Amino acid sequence: MGRIGLVAVTAVLASTLVACGQSEQVGDRGPVAAGEGSTAYPLTLDNCGETVTVDATPKRVASLDQGSTEILLSLGLGDRIVGTASWTDPIRQNLAAAHASVPRLAENAPTYEVVLGADPDFVTASFGRHFEQGGVAERSRFEETGIESYLSPTDCDNGVSVNGGGKRSAPLTMDALYQEIRELAAVFDVNDRGAQLVDELQSRETAALADIEKSNVSMAFWFADTKSPYVAGGLGSANLLATSVGATNVFAELTDDWPAVGWETVVERNPDVLVLGDLLRARFPGDLLADKIAFLESDPVTRNLDAVRNQRYIALHGAEMNPSIRAVDGLEKIAAGLRDMQVPR
């Protein structure tokens, strides 16, 4: 193994999402491809406690998160995106060309005025914090201006946004991600592309887990912050990755997606493997992978962890730890890393 205990896995989505049909001009974004003609409008969705009614195919969408943007790009909708925001990582390689012409509204959350300045007719988000007071704007505020909004089902539990102040009552499953893909595909009248994308992701899931041996390997996921590390709780996306490969998340009893804990607690639980977030946003100490490893191997509290002494690290991008199409990339990397590691069983 290399120094960070990671075998890189490159699995590129098939680039078959080619726009079809006639085109129409929309503002300065150039030609926008017509849909497939398979969605019957008006389309009504029950979306995290809100009723969303789409009267026609949206032509100008603002996406407030990297995860949402990468779904739209994977559906071949780059020509409709008038703005994106809140990025932790570089664009997925197979989407780079389509993403190149998408305006960046902000590296983190944009203001409401900046979003309106992009003149969207539809707004999407992966995390409900954008639709709360103190975020970009409440969904009702967008509705007042005739803009429908959509929140990822991965952030919803019993009609309430988890990142908007709610709590999960049940573990997240990949079904919520696939629901998001299918619903956005229906909104934009590209249902066949949505079905194809879901099939591709499910096939990759199956392949990644084909020869995974269920074991008693324990792991902890460290997302960010060197002072009070944000680790994966037991109901969110990262825990789903752990259970999928047959491992145990040492913080599985915590119900928040990313609770902050003390390093003494991490040492007490002494996971066999540390899954480390490599966040190129560099907003907080320990966002970067190199900074995480330097801290772990120099700090007197953490340097004696079994995973640190044996350099049992698996590196994931932040988007691969969160619920998005990149979670399948994360699953592939964890599965590959465990196959190559010498971990006590």
Tell me, what's the pLDDT at 39?
96
What is the pLDDT confidence band of residue 29, given thresholds at 50, 70 and 90? Answer: very low
The Cα–Cα gap between 29 and 25 comes to 8
Residue-level pLDDT at 282: 67
CA distance 320 to 168: 20
Estimate to the nearest angstrom the gap between the alpha carbon of 158 and the chain centroid: 20
pLDDT given for residue 26 in this prediction: 32
CA quadruple 162, 168, 172, 175: dihedral sign? negative
What is the rounded average pLDDT of the residues 158-163?
94
CA distance 313 to 343: 11
- For residues 66-81, one letter each, b for 16 or more C-beta atoms within 10 angstroms of the residue's C-beta and e for the rest, the string is bbbbbbbbbbbbbbbb
Does 91 have pLDDT greater than 50? yes
Alpha-carbon gap, residue 179 to 198, rounded angstroms: 9
* Per-residue model confidence (pLDDT) at position 341: 85
Cβ atoms 228, 262 nearer than 8 A: yes
| CA nearest to 87, candidates 62, 112, 72, 69 | 69
Domains belonging to the chain, first-starting first, are 23-206 (3.40.50.1980), 214-340 (3.40.50.1980)
- Which pLDDT score, from 0 to 100, does residue 12 have? 28
Q: Please confirm whether the linkage preceding 58 is cis (ω < 30° from 0).
A: no
Tokens of 31: 């030609």
Which tokens is 75 given?
Answer: 């559906």
pLDDT of residue 3: 35
- pLDDT on residue 37: 87
Averaged pLDDT for residues 192-216: 91
Return d(Cα 52, Cα 45) in angstroms, integer: 5
- pLDDT higher than threshold 70 for residue 24: no
Give the pLDDT band of residue 214 (cuts 50, 70, 90): low
Across the chain, mean pLDDT equals: 88
Biggest distance spanned by C-alpha atoms of the chain? 64
Model confidence band, residue 35 (pLDDT cutoffs 50, 70, 90): confident
Q: Is the pLDDT of residue 28 over 50?
A: no
Kindly report, residue by residue over 256-273, the tens digit of the pLDDT: 999 999 999 999 999 999
- How far, CA to CA in Å, does 291 sit from each of 100, 238, 280, 283, 298? 29, 21, 11, 12, 11
What pLDDT, in 10s, does the model give residues 98-107?
Answer: 999 999 999 8
pLDDT of residue 88: 87
- From 208, 223, 149, select the one nearest 338 (Cα to Cα): 208
CB contact at 8 A, 271 and 217: no
